[in-house]
Each structure stands twice: as structure tokens, then as C-alpha cells.
Amino acid sequence: MALLNILQYPDRRLHKVAKPVAHVDARIRRLVSDMAETMYQAPGVGLAATQVDVHERVIVIDISEMHDELQVFINPEIVWSSDERLFSEEGCLSVPGIYDKVERPEHVRVRALNEKGESVEVDATGLLAVCIQHEMDHLMGRVFVEYLSPLKQNRIKTKMRKQAAA
């Protein structure tokens, strides 16, 4: 296993749209393993391949207290989302130290492949629903701060650039 470099906002590579995974093979399983290690080390609860400059549709999530319930979503797609919406405070490993409220559907159903290449379907609410949607946004080249006002986005970009230069 290896720790991967997490891209920092406003890096342009975070805006690349990820391509579907053609085959779940040893290379993808290695990527999942490395992403999980990177996420736990950061520490975070979710990580999309886009964030580590791999532009394929792979997400790892673990919202458990003990960090022992890794969930893998390869080629995820939301097949249903509730009309009920919820504001939740979000943060991101690509935007360290920045947290803000984002409105998303409260409940989603996602279909994906797991690390064995098996089809899975998960009904998610609460933090898991937020994480799935947040990480899937990364696969579409979107960072959570883009849900915020232009003024907030500019302030965050300025702050992140100053941190990178320091």
C-alpha cells in the first residue's frame, strides 16, 4: 500500500470528469487499497480517485467510528434521490480547514461495483448520503465549494493559494 498525494483546490485537475472503470482488476484493487490508506491517514471519511489525480470513477468511504467499515463504489450512479433536502456541513480533504453548509437530497440510492467487481445497491441517508453525493461530485469535476456564493468561493481560492505558497 502507498499514500497518494491529494490535490488541493483550486487545482485544475480537480475539475476533470472521471471515466468509467472498464474492468475491476488488480490495478483497480490496488488503487482502492491506496486510496483507503490515504483517506484514513489524512484523516477523512471519503475520497474520490479524482482527488488523487486518477480520473476513473472510484470512491472509498468509511463513516464508521472505528474506521473499519470501508465501502467501495466503482462506477457509482445515483438511481434515486428523495425530494426531501437537507443542509449539512461539509469539508473536503482537497480543501483542508474549510467547512460550509451544502444542500443535498436527504436520501439516495446508489448502484455501483464493489472492489470484487460485484454489483451492489445501497440506500443511504445522513452522513453516508452526503458523502456519496460529495464524492460523486468529485468524479464529475465538481468541488463542494462550488455550491457556495461566488464571494465565498473567491475567498476560499485566495486562502488556499496563500497556504500553498507558504
> Per the annotation, does 107 bind a ligand?
no
Q: Single out the residue of 82, 100, 95 nearest to residue 148, CA to CA.
A: 100
In 3-state terms the chain splits into helix, strand, coil percentages (rounded to 5) of 35, 30, 35
Domains in the chain, start-ordered, CATH in brackets? 12-165 (3.90.45.10)
On whether 92 is known to bind a ligand per the annotation, the reply is yes
What is the rounded distance in angstroms from the CA atom of residue 138 to the CA atom of residue 18?
8
**Binding site annotation covers 138?**
yes
DSSP H/E element including 36: helix 26-41
Residue found under cell 473536503? 92
Q: Give the pLDDT of residue 166.
A: 82
**Out of 56, 90, 115, 135, which one is annotated catalytic?**
135
Instruction: Give yes or no: 146 in active site.
Output: no
pLDDT value for 55: 98
pLDDT given for residue 2 in this prediction: 86
Chunk the chain into consecutive blocks of 10 residues (it has 166) and report each block's average pLDDT, rounded to whole numbers.
92 98 98 98 97 98 96 98 97 97 98 98 98 98 97 95 88
